[in-house]
Amino acid sequence: MRTIFWNIKNYNDEKLKHLNEIIVSEKPDVFCIAEGIYHKEKGTVYKDNCKNLDRVFKNNKYEIYYTPLFSDDKKIDLNYGFNEYGLNIYYKKETVTLKDSFSFSLQRKNGRIIALKIFHNFQPITFIFVHSISKLDKKDQKYKYMDSLKEMIELGEIAKIDDEKEKEILGDKERIIIIGDFNMDPWETILDNNEYITSSFIRNHNLIKQRTNKSYIFYNPIVEYISNTKTQNLGGTFYKKGYGWSLLDFVLYNTKEGEINFEIITELKSGKQLLNTSSDLKHSFLKYNFDHLPIEINLNIKK
């Protein structure tokens, strides 16, 4: 099962073409888009942008799990207005079995943190998609924001299996996979803070970056992935002219090593490269005003 997260940095028609190309090439089962409808130019109609983005996925036979347009749906009753910075999440009905349909309780920060609960090979999994607010300069602001993420983690922890027969089939822990744009580096101390991001899984094992085959913990693979990559120019997931690379998009998960593969996408299966080999990065990655690379996880959980 393949899941992609991509912060595409502001809406434009050219980016929709790139997005359609990556959908066709990579064929993910779940796709989450951040900053897919906002555009800094005056006069942009955000809701029309959102409809166009939804249409790209519908044309590729995806279902909508969450769109900021849900703010107009009285049946869902979000209790907040349209948020142009909200996430857009889509899934393939043929390959993804929802455990729960989207509801207000499965989001935080007006749609910038969203939980998607599914079954994969009869195993319960909670995806938590995150787009943290950028430029959270003050530590107390970061704590308040990450507290919302902790709440979502706890929702996943609550969903433990009590029935013995179900436990024999499903296991006794629900897997939690957190993926998104954190707008902070993975080694920032807030990600190790017991009062916020941590949960009973992390608390029991003390370190968020600890790795073991025997325990269920939160593990962040991005630093090792970057250090081992053979892709030239890949020093992170976010690139800013004049500053270089940062590791702002990453994955945290509490599942066993070997059950999940992590990748920063730099080249599509069609052969198209998002990065070139020269240091000035003149390829379409910067030409069309992208600044984040898409990241992908591939689940290999057996029945």
Range of the domain at 188: 2-299
What CA–CA distance (Å, rounded) separates 146 from 141? 9
Distances (CA, A) of 238 to 58, 73, 115, 181: 28, 34, 23, 9
Mean pLDDT, residues 212-231: 68
53-80 burial: b if 16+ Cβ within 10 Å, else e: bbebbeeeebeebbbbbbbeeeeeebee
- Name which residue leads in pLDDT, 248 or 191: 248
Mean pLDDT, residues 294-299: 93
Q: Find all residues with CB under 8 Å of 64, minimum gap 6, and list them.
A: 54, 57, 58, 88, 89, 90
Top mean pLDDT of 97-106, 186-195, 245-254, 263-272 is at: 97-106
The pTM score is 0.86
Top mean pLDDT of 108-117, 120-129, 152-161, 218-227 is at: 108-117
What CA–CA distance (Å, rounded) separates 191 from 184? 9
Q: Which of 16-20, 132-136, 205-209 has the lowest mean pLDDT?
A: 205-209
**What are the residues facing 158 on neighbouring strands?**
none
Residue 275 token pair: 């990065």
List the CATH number of the domain containing 251. Answer: 3.60.10.10
Asked whether the beta carbons of 127 and 179 are under 8 A apart, the reply is yes
* Residue with the two structure tokens 């922890």: 157
Residue 68 token pair: 């900021």
pLDDT in tens, 239-289: 887 788 888 998 888 766 567 888 999 888 878 778 776 655 445 566 777
Q: Which of 172-181, 187-196, 263-272, 273-282 has the lowest mean pLDDT?
A: 187-196
Asked whether the beta carbons of 13 and 39 are under 8 A apart, the reply is no
Top mean pLDDT of 60-64, 107-111, 277-281 is at: 60-64
Q: What's the domain count of the chain?
A: 1
pLDDT in tens, 1-14: 999 999 988 788 88
DSSP string, 188-227: -GGGG-TTTT--HHHHHHS-TT---SSS---B--HHHHHH
DSSP 269: T
- Name which residue leads in pLDDT, 146 or 42: 146
Q: Which of 64-73, 220-229, 280-289, 294-303 has the lowest mean pLDDT?
A: 280-289
Closest alpha carbon to 85 in 62, 112, 66, 61: 112
Residue 139: pLDDT band with limits 50, 70, 90: low
pLDDT at 165: 46
Mean pLDDT, residues 97-102: 92
Q: What is the mean pLDDT of the chain?
A: 78
Coarse DSSP helix, strand, coil percentages of the chain, rounded to the nearest 5 percent:
30, 25, 50
* Residue with the two structure tokens 């970057």: 226
- Name which residue leads in pLDDT, 140 or 236: 236
Asked whether the beta carbons of 161 and 171 are under 8 A apart, the reply is yes
Residue type, 168: E
DSSP 84: T
pLDDT in tens, 11-59: 888 888 889 999 999 999 999 999 988 766 544 578 888 999 999 999 9
